[in-house]
Structure 1
Amino acid sequence: MPTKHIDDRTWRKVEKEAVKATIATERSIKETDMLKWLINKGLEHITVDDYDDIAKSKKG
């Protein structure tokens, strides 16, 4: 499986979501599973306009 660096701030958000999911479902949710779910959910909803916003924020 490919690995990529995830900055600490983003990883803490993933960890918090995993805790929320664990509490909500009363089942243990691994951070790596949560990351995969978050990525896939985001991929379902990202738009070309979002790409433009990302590109603009990188310039400034």
Structure 2
Amino acid sequence: APAKRTSCFSVTNSGKLSFCPVGSVVTGCACGYGCGSWDVGVGETTCHYQSNSVDWTTACCCRLT
């Protein structure tokens, strides 16, 4: 069987949620103005910031290729 490799990329959205596409998982999160505490939810595919004033959110996503 061929060796598996990890492929990682970022997905940025405005507001307090950012989602990784199907087949990938969140490995980290970042946010802009008003950044506070966060959690990973919805099957480990979503970065969710718990502050209402966040202007952007980035999910760091990885998958096996």
Q: Pick the TM interval, shorter chain.
A: under 0.3
Greater Rg by CA: 1
Larger relative contact order (CA 8 Å, sep ≥ 6):
2
TM-score (normalised: structure 1) = 0.23
Greater share of residues in helix: 1
TM-score (normalised: structure 2) = 0.22
